[in-house]
Chain A
């Protein structure tokens, strides 16, 4: 990719379903997955005579998001109708925001902790509120092709976030989406579940190609149907190559062909032409006469700003500064979401040594959550218990390897304390004289290994550890090895 003879230019449009309980303009539930057409009313069915009333929570969520994205929040915002006919749009228009979006500009910084790309600032053009459409499903019955329409989703609040074409690679696009999703989850404005469609993404893509000292841009395509981060990455990679091939064949630059809409086919791994916007769609936007404008005062915004939670970028820095975590470790914890950050901090507050807590979380807790597909709450291992466990290890009451056994024991019984688990496992501290005796015995029984060690094979004593464990399971293998070395090196054996 680094030798690509072009620059890939990507802008994203992200549709975020806000997690309000009721819809944007009526009080029907927004719950996902209910039987078709069971969460509908005259308003979201677009029945004659029905009128919209704006959900206050949607405005609050949009403002919160806008502030977190460092956007300018409009003091005056209004509702516009976007007119077009489609069966998932029962009114024949979508209520949206055209010329006065609730948020303008703003940015989000992204970086890669593994250094896959340079840190960069992705700028936003705007973010506006609008209502979601229903769902249409293709259906073939007795040779007659029909579409079935479910309007449960119609009217769910969406925040459409539009970026500048600032992204330059599929990896950057994926990283941007990952970071945006994390931010939205921290803000608690959306559940961001891509399978359920609460986070949806379209990409606008073209290539900038250096030709004879000038830059030529290829025609922009809009890619739809990007239902996972992986799909975004794959589709952009595919599309870059496709546009390059096309350019190499026809040398048609931007303006030479109408803008295309292409759909991503995740199974075939290709984008396919959906339509060419030959007749530039004429949506006849105009202010919705059924809805009144929303005004926000400086005080409203100050209040919302005051209520804003700590954002992921700030949390990353703080964990490094406050707990002396490595940037990488901080990133791993923060990227898992606010719940894990809280878990980490609660464990530290309860006395767990920060670095040890961090590594237990990354190596053991996350592994288990992943294996078991559980949430932290479901795992049933409280931050306080993790604090106790890591404290015991730090104090030497139990070594790291037996610590894993203690952890496993505690997982099986959510009422079991560290002390009780240690006792149940028969773990006892081995005193120095006991240990000394054990080492003498081991060295005496393993003359061959001792000789090999003396001959310069530092690893030869490793064989003794297993035997030590058999003789006394509580013996700390690290201490046994050290003591044995000492005894040989000092000439005591």
Chain B
């Protein structure tokens, strides 16, 4: 499939990646090359083949409903770029 710079712009926005004009151009070319490469898959007959999500297929891995100690608040906030000792701080959600 072909990938236009508009597509790349849309993808970059979905992925929250700011791209410069130059980056947009170079990524468009590179991504197109990769997409063309993976397009080989279209040649495989997969009718009726069950998709394989996991490398080893398990089911029903369940934990009992028991509360365990988590992290202290200090530790939880310790890597935060901005906090007020209680909460994480981020730029206004509604701006």
Q: How far does the Cβ of A490 sit from chain B's closest Cβ, in whole Å?
A: 75
- Nearest-Cβ distance from residue A17 to partner chain B, whole angstroms: 14
**Known pairs A40-B70, A282-B14; A87 contacts B93 (CB<8 A):** yes
A86→B53 CA distance, assembly (Å): 26
**Interface residue? B29 (CB, 8 A):** no
Digitize B32-70: 1 where CB-to-A-CB distance is under 8 Å, 0 elsewhere: 000000000000000000000110011111111111101
Contact check, B65 vs A138: say whether CB atoms are below 8 A apart.
no
Interface of B, secondary structure class, is loop
A148 at interface, CB cutoff 8 A: yes
Q: Are B88 and A37 closer than 8 Å at their CB atoms?
A: yes
Verify B70–A85 contact, CB threshold 8 A.
no
The reply on B31 being an interface residue by CB < 8 A is no
Is A35 located at the chain interface by the 8 A CB criterion?
yes
Contact B59 A294 (CB under 8 A): yes
Q: A365 near B: Cβ within 8 Å?
A: no
Give the shortest distance, in Å, between A143 (CB) and chain B (any CB): 12
Question: Would B65 and A41 count as touching, CB distance under 8 A?
Answer: no
Q: Mark B60-94, 1 if CB is under 8 A from A, else 0.
A: 11111111101101001101000010111111111
- Which residues does chain A contribute within 8 Å of B16, judged by CB atoms? 85
**Cβ–Cβ < 8 Å partners of B59 in chain A:** 292-295
Closest-CB distance, B66 to chain A (whole angstroms): 6
A53 within 8 A of B: yes
A301 at interface, CB cutoff 8 A: no
Instruction: Tell me the bound Cα distance from A491 to B64 in angstroms.
Output: 82
- Residues of the A chain whose Cβ atoms lie less than 8 Å from the Cβ of B66: 21-22, 27
Of the residues A37, A40, A57, contact of B65 by C-beta under 8 Å: A57
Residues of A within 8 A of B58 (CB): 292
A26 to B65, CA, bound (A): 9
Name the residue on A nearest B94 (C-beta).
A138
Q: Are B76 and A45 in contact (CB under 8 A)?
A: yes
**In the complex, are the beta carbons of A28 and B67 less than 8 A apart?**
yes
A310 within 8 A of B: no
Report whether B61 and A292 are in contact in the complex, using a CB–CB cutoff of 8 Å.
Answer: yes
Cβ-closest chain B residue relative to A137: B87
Give the docked Cα–Cα distance between A192 and B39 (Å). 50
A146 close to chain B: CB less than 8 A: yes
B78 to chain A, nearest CB (A): 11
Cβ A289 vs Cβ B71 within 8 A:
no
What's the count of A-B pairs with C-beta under 8 Å? 117
Flag if A29 contacts B90 (CB, 8 Å).
no
Is A35 touching B86 in the complex (CB atoms < 8 A)?
yes
Q: Which residues of A contact B67 (CB under 8 A)?
A: 21-22, 27-29
Name the residue of chain B whose CB is nearest to the CB of A294: B60
A151 on the interface (CB 8 Å rule)? yes
Q: Which residues of B contact A137 (CB under 8 A)?
A: 87
Min Cβ gap A262→B in Å is 15
| A56 engages B62 (CB within 8 Å) | yes
When the two chains form their complex, are residues B63 and A136 in contact, meaning their CB atoms are under 8 A apart? Answer: no
Residues of A within 8 A of B65 (CB): 20-22, 55-58
Q: Are A148 and B92 interface neighbours, CB within 8 A? A: no
- Bound complex: CA of A195 vs CA of B94, how far in Å? 23
Nearest residue (CB) in A for B16 is A85
> What A residues does B62 contact at CB under 8 A?
53-56, 59, 294
Tell me the complex Cα distance, A432–B24, Å: 104
Closest A residue to B51 using CB positions: A287
A147 touches B (CB below 8 Å): yes
A145-B92 CB under 8 A given contacts A21-B66, A56-B63, A292-B60 = yes
Say yes or no: B88 contacts A148, CB within 8 Å.
Answer: yes
- The answer, yes or no, to whether A132 is at the interface (CB within 8 Å) is no
Question: Is the CB–CB distance between B70 and A28 below 8 Å?
Answer: yes
B70 near A39: Cβ-Cβ < 8 Å: yes
Question: Does A451 interact with chain B (Cβ within 8 Å)?
Answer: no
Q: Nearest Cβ distance between residue A88 and chain B, in whole angstroms?
A: 8
Q: Which residue in B53, B68, B87, B90 is a CB contact (below 8 Å) of A36?
A: B87
Contact A53 B76 (CB under 8 A): no
In the complex, what distance in Å separates the CA atom of A147 from the CA atom of B92?
5
Q: Flag if A149 contacts B88 (CB, 8 Å).
A: yes
Q: When chains A and B are docked, how far (Å) is the Cα of A284 from the Cα of B88? A: 27
What residues of A have a CB within 8 angstroms of the CB of B90 in the complex? 87, 136, 146-147, 149
Instruction: Give 25 CB contacts A-B under 8 Å.
Output: A20-B65, A21-B67, A28-B67, A29-B67, A35-B73, A36-B86, A37-B77, A41-B71, A55-B62, A56-B65, A57-B64, A78-B53, A85-B16, A87-B88, A87-B90, A136-B93, A138-B93, A145-B95, A146-B90, A147-B93, A149-B90, A151-B88, A289-B54, A292-B54, A293-B60
> Besides the contacts A55-B63, A146-B92, what 8 more A-B pairs have beta carbons closer than 8 Å?
A20-B65, A53-B62, A56-B63, A56-B65, A78-B53, A139-B89, A151-B76, A292-B58
Complex A-B, nearest 7 residue pairs according to Cβ-Cβ distance, in ascending order = A41-B70, A57-B65, A148-B87, A56-B62, A27-B68, A149-B88, A145-B92
